[in-house]
Structures are given as C-alpha cells and as structure tokens.
Amino acid sequence: MPTSRTDAPAARRRRAGLVLGQVALLAGVLALCEALVRGNVVSSLYLPAPTDVLDEVVLLLSGDNGFYGNLAVTLQEFLTGYLLAVAAGILFGLFLALVPLAEAFFRPFLAALMAVPKVTVIPLLTLWFGLGLGHKVIIVFLFCFFPIVYNTIAGVKQTSADHLKVARSFRASRFQVITKVVLPSAVPTIFAALRVEAAAALVGAIFGEMVASKAGLGNGLTEATSLYDTPRAFAFIILITLVSVASVTVIDQLEKRVFLKWRPRQTRLR
Amino acid sequence: MNGQGFTVTGVSKTYGGAGEVRALDGIDLTVGEGEFVVLLGRSGCGKSTLLEIMAGLQRPTTGTVRLGGREITEPDERIGVVFQDPSLYPWRTVGRNVELGLELAGLPKGRRRAVAQEHLELVGLPDAGNKYPRQLSGGMRQRVGIARALATRPDVLLMDEPFGAVDHLTRLQLQHDLLRLWAEDTRTVVFVTHDVAEAIVLADRIVLLTPGPGRIARTWDVPRPRPRTLGDPGLTALREEIYAQLEDTGTWEKEGQPR
Ligand SMILES: Nc1ncnc2c1ncn2[C@@H]1O[C@H](COP(=O)(O)OP(=O)(O)O)[C@@H](O)[C@H]1O
Ligand SMILES: [Mg+2]
C-alpha cells in the first residue's frame, strides 16, 4: 500500500535516518574490531582484523586456492540434492495427499524419519557412501525432502471445495483436477518450504563437506580453521553466506515473477 | 438457442453421517424449455442441494432428474453452473478463468481465447481479460462467473444465489443485465434466491421451498411482462401473497423484513 502523499517526505526522512544509524553501527563494530586487533588487545588468531578478512575475500575471489573449483563442487552437490528432493518431495507429497490410504500407511514412518536429527547419520553415510558427490547429495536430500513432502500435503489440503466443484461442473478429469486446481492451490504452501529448504540444503552440503570431503567450500573452511588461518575462515563464512542469500533470492524471484504473480503485493498491517 | 426442459421426479436427499440431515423430500418439478424458474426459500431449506442434484454434482438419495429426456447422473455439457461465491481461480487471469471450461474440454488455445473475449464483452467486461480476479469488484467477479458458465454454450443455466454477495444497487444492475442476456438468447434458467423481490423481478415461475426437510410448498406463475418494477400493482399482490405464505409455513426468517 502506498503511503499517502502528504507524509511521504517525513517517511523518507525517517527511513534515511534508520539506514544512517545502521551503517554507523556496522562501521563502529568493524572499527572496534580493527582497533582491538591492531592494538594487540585481542590476538589475531581469535579475531581477524576486518581489513585482513577483506583481503582474503578478494584473494579467494581472484581464484586463490582453487576457490572456483570448490564453489563448483558445492553448488553441484547442493543443486543435485535439492532438485532431487524438490521433485521427489512434491511427487510423493502429492501421492500421499491424493491417496488417503497411502498417507495413513506412511505417516508414522515419515514422522519417525522426520524426527531423526539428520546430522546424526552423516558419519554413517560417510561409511556407506564415501567422501564424494553421492554422499553430499544424499545428505542434502535428507535435509530437505521431508519438509517438502509435508508442505505439499498441507498445500493440497488447502484446495477449496468450491474450486473443485467448478472443475467438476466442467467435467474435468482426475488428472485435470490435479494439474489445474490442486497443484496451483498448493503452490504458495510448497514455495514456503522451497524457500526455507534452499537454505537448509546448503547447510547440508557445507556440513557434509566439513565432516568428510576432499573439496568444496566446507572443505576449504575446515582447512582454513585447522591451519589457524582465521581471516580465511571468516572469508569463507562470508562467501558461503552470500551463496545462501543468492539461492534464496533466486527462489523468491521465481515465486514473485512466475508462480505467484497473481498474489497481491504484501499488505501492511499497521 | 433453444433450451431444454428438466423433469425432477420424487427427488429426496439425506446427508449421511452421525447426525443425519434430511435436506430434500419428494421433490417433483418440471422446468419447461426456455423457462426462467426461481427457487425461493430461506437458507438451509435445500435450494443448493436441489440445484446441485440437477447439475449432476450430487446424487439424490431417491428419485431422478432428467434433462431433455436423458437422466442426469453426472455433470453434463448441456448445463452451465453459476456459483454463489463465483469461485474464480485467483491464480488465473480473468480471461483464463472464462476459458476454463473450454480448456478442460480440449479446445485449442486461439479458439478459446476468442470465445472467452466474446463472453467477457457479453457481460460488459471487455477490458478485464488480463486482470486478476482480486482486481475486480464483487459485482464484476460475478459477471465473470456468468461469462465462464456461458462460454461453453450450455442449453441450461443453473444459478445458485449468484447475486447474494453483492450490494443492493449492484444486484439490481446484475438482475437487469441477466434479463437482457436471457432475452437475447433464451435458454432454460433455474435461479436460486432467498430474496422475494429478486424472485418477482426475474421469474416466469416462482417455486417456494420450505425447510426441514425441503419440500415444495407452492408455486406461482408471474405473468407480467419484463422489465418489471416492484411498484407494479399486479406484482404487489403477488408479493403480499408470497409473504403471507412464508409466514403461514413458519419459514419466516427473523432478519428478513418485507420490503
Ligand atoms: N454436504 C453436506 N453434508 C451434510 N449436510 C449438508 C450438506 N450440505 C447441506 N447440508 C444440509 O442440508 C440442508 C440444506 O442445505 P442447502 O441445500 O445448502 O440449503 P440452502 O442452499 O437452501 O441454504 C441444510 O440443513 C444443510 O445443513
Ligand atoms: Mg445455498
């Protein structure tokens, strides 16, 4: 909702003030870190000087230490596992939602599997699948499959009875009902899971790499930490965060421009 | 286009489950080709149930519905349904909502676009095709619901309180426009309402349903030419009669006041 014309300058001034304050806080904290390290109050082993971290980021981005190879490995694990989980999760969720007997049958198993903290099985997965791509893909898959299944079921159940009645009055086939009514009705709920699980999938890939791997961003991070190269570890954290933000942004844009174009702009509550 | 007639014979409906509900009991009704019949009654008296049985969306517990001699047991391509809440699909543009029936019937894209646009023009919304339903007012959405039902060119239109959710002035406009559409292309219409004035303005014949279980209490022919105004002395008498009957059969709704 647009703010009314009369108070627009006031609102803009308030926003400018807010941003200024935020920048000041950030600059202050960074300057404090820099001063603490440079003044040898805190050892650079524990806390790197922000300028050193920046140097490392630039170094990594210039391709030092095979950064782009690591990035490619992580992205491949992440994308393969995530896309498999999305496809399988939506299909399986749809199947369960549309076949009540199947849902009744699988529900306890799903609930039990969902309850297992996935990180606990990573060492076993290493034992079974080794250090390579398959290992990470399975971790990523396990991290995000179950929530996608659950949200798909929940989304399908949101299909309005009136919308179904309209389709029936036009003699829609069961397949048409699914593709033209049920799935579109479930899209908002499914997307909510896709968004959260994109971040979780990256966590899965990185964590898998940190536990057992020969390459990848998580591998680089573990290596830097074990060498007490704190600035480089921080640089990895920053770059991994950027990858995470980028992937969620892609999902958001997909949602906004393609799948949920019909939704009203966010309404303001106050 | 010519309509087709309905014959409803001995239709009863009992909803199962723990607390059984007898929604309809022994409904006999014929609707002639091209006739405009209004089912009138307070909410809960089984109007929607009867309409959905006629539409093939529900099966009666006993009895049969025939349309043009053929028994209705499932939705039929000769029947178009307009729902109370127009139930447009919010993820589709208005144009693609109107196309829905044609799309489900497998009509090619270009053809159904043209037919949809034609029907949007028919209901007075020539420029709404690319909008989304949320961008339209309640009255406009209901017009889209009518266009969607008409786009498949049904012989019969079944309408369940289609103007129940819009404001009074919009409702008068929609009634007027519906009669215009009907005059241009007469087809059989069964129209459900709980509004006595609406029934009188629209109907060739008014069928009064009473609740618990739903039965036909009485029917009236409305032999006055259209367009009708409620000030018409011939109609005033009819209105008095309907209200008297409503009171008589204990079907009075507390909030409903004679107008
Ligand atoms: N699916 C259903 N299951 C059980 N009872 C129902 C169902 N649909 C309608 N009823 C009941 O049947 C009666 C008639 O309902 P309905 O046909 O919707 O009436 P109206 O359209 O005249 O308001 C009501 O008592 C209602 O509660
Ligand atoms: Mg009803």
pLDDT of residue A1: 47
Q: How is domain A57-259 classified at the architecture level of CATH?
A: Orthogonal Bundle (1.10)
The verdict on B132 touching A (C-beta cutoff 8 Å) is yes
Confidence band for B256, pLDDT divided at 50, 70 and 90: very low
Of B191, B153, B182, which Cα lies nearest the Cα of B54? B191
Quick: pLDDT tens for A110-168.
999 999 998 899 889 999 998 889 999 999 999 999 999 999 999 999 999 999 999 99
pLDDT of residue A98: 92
Tell me the Cα Rg of chain B. Answer: 18
Per-residue burial over A227-254, b = 16 or more CB atoms within 10 Å of its CB, e = otherwise: eebbbbbbbbeebbeebbeebbeebeee
| Average pLDDT for chain A | 90
Does residue A203 have a pLDDT over 60? yes
Residues of B in contact with A166 (CB under 8 A): 81, 83, 87, 89, 100, 148
pLDDT of residue B17: 76
Confidence band for A4, pLDDT divided at 50, 70 and 90: low
Take residue B185 and report the two structure tokens written for it: 């292309």
The pTM (predicted TM-score) of the whole model is 0.85
Does residue A7 have a pLDDT over 80? no
Does residue B167 have a pLDDT over 50? yes
Q: Which of A116-125, A257-266, B92-101 is modeled with the greatest confidence?
A: B92-101
d(CA A109, CA A132): 28
In the stretch 10-69 of chain B, residues with CB closer than 8 A to chain A read 55, 57
Does residue A247 have a pLDDT over 50? yes
- Residue A100: asked if its preceding bond is cis (omega within 30°), the reply is no
Which residues on neighbouring strands pair with residue B220, listed in sequence order?
Answer: B206
pLDDT of residue B85: 86
d(CA B101, CA B112): 9
Instruction: Output the CA torsion sign for A168, A172, A174, A178.
Output: negative
Does residue B97 have a pLDDT over 70? yes
d(CA B182, CA B230): 20
Does residue A269 have a pLDDT over 70? no
Does residue B161 have a pLDDT over 70? yes
Task: State mean pLDDT over B192-199.
Answer: 94
Would you give the DSSP letter of residue B39?
E
Residue nearest to atom 1 of ligand 1 (CA): B15
Q: How many CB atoms lie within 10 A of CB A18?
A: 10
Tell me whether strands B188-193 and B21-31 are parallel, antiparallel or unpaired.
Answer: unpaired
Residues of B in contact with A165 (CB under 8 A): 57, 83, 87
Take residue B215 and report the two structure tokens written for it: 């039965």
Of B166, B177, B93, which Cα lies nearest the Cα of B135? B93
More confident residue, A81 or B225: A81
Of B166, B168, B173, B175, which Cα lies nearest the Cα of B138? B166
d(CA B52, CA B135): 29
Instruction: Give the closest-approach CA distance of A101 to chain B in angstroms.
Output: 20
Is residue B113 within 8 A of residue B99, CB to CB? The reply is yes
* Residue-range domain boundaries for chain B: 1-78+155-259, 88-153
Task: State mean pLDDT over B231-249.
Answer: 86
Tell me the Cα Rg of chain A. Answer: 24
pLDDT of residue B251: 53
Closest ligand to the CA of B27:
1
Beta strands in B99-193 (DSSP E): 156-160, 188-193
The verdict on B101 touching A (C-beta cutoff 8 Å) is yes
Instruction: Output the CA torsion sign for B6, B8, B14, B16.
Output: negative
Q: Which atom of ligand 1 is nearest to the CA of B214?
A: 14
Which residues on neighbouring strands pair with residue B14, listed in sequence order?
Answer: B22
d(CA A134, CA A129): 7
pLDDT of residue B4: 78
* ipTM rounded to 2 decimals: 0.90
* Residue-range domain boundaries for chain A: 5-47, 57-259
Residues of B in contact with A162 (CB under 8 A): 83, 85, 87
Does residue B169 have a pLDDT over 80? yes
By percentage, how much of chain B surpasses pLDDT 70?
95
Tell me whether strands B205-210 and B36-40 are parallel, antiparallel or unpaired.
Answer: parallel
Task: State mean pLDDT over A181-191.
Answer: 94
Ligand 1, CB cutoff 6 Å, lining residues: B 15, 21, 23, 41, 43-49
Where is average pLDDT lowest: A161-165, B47-51, B160-164, B233-237?
B233-237
Does residue A12 have a pLDDT over 80? yes
Does residue A204 have a pLDDT over 90? yes
Residues of A in contact with B98 (CB under 8 A): none
Does residue B257 have a pLDDT over 70? no
**Residue B24 Rama label (left phi>0; alpha psi -120 to 50; beta):** beta
The verdict on B81 touching A (C-beta cutoff 8 Å) is yes
The CATH number assigned to the domain with range B1-78+155-259 reads 3.40.50.300
d(CA B31, CA B54): 11
CB contact under 8 Å between A262 and B134, yes or no, is yes
Would you give the DSSP letter of residue B214?
B
By percentage, how much of chain A surpasses pLDDT 90?
74
Tell me whether strands B188-193 and B156-160 are parallel, antiparallel or unpaired.
Answer: parallel
Instruction: Give the closest-approach CA distance of A91 to chain B in angstroms.
Output: 21
pLDDT of residue B60: 96
Which CA distances in Å does A230 have to A33, A48, A235, B253?
14, 6, 9, 78
Task: State mean pLDDT over A51-72.
Answer: 92
Q: 3-state SS of chain A?
A: CCCCHHHHHHHHHHHHHHHHHHHHHHHHHHHHHHHHHHCCCCCCCCCCCHHHHHHHHHHHHCCHHHHHHHHHHHHHHHHHHHHHHHHHHHHHHHHHHHCHHHHHHHHHHHHHHHHCCHHHHHHHHHHHHCCCHHHHHHHHHHHHHHHHHHHHHHHHCCCCHHHHHHHHHCCCCHHHHHHHHHHHHHHHHHHHHHHHHHHHHHHHHHHHHHHCCCCCHHHHHHHHHHCCCHHHHHHHHHHHHHHHHHHHHHHHHHHHHHHCCCCCCCCCCC
pLDDT of residue B230: 79
Nearest to B152 among A167, A170, A181 (CB): A170
Take residue B253 and report the two structure tokens written for it: 């709704």
Confidence band for B176, pLDDT divided at 50, 70 and 90: very high
More confident residue, A224 or A260: A224
pLDDT of residue A159: 95
pLDDT of residue A44: 82
Quick: pLDDT tens for A73-99.
999 999 999 999 999 999 999 999 999
pLDDT of residue B63: 96
pLDDT of residue A265: 65
More confident residue, B89 or A254: B89
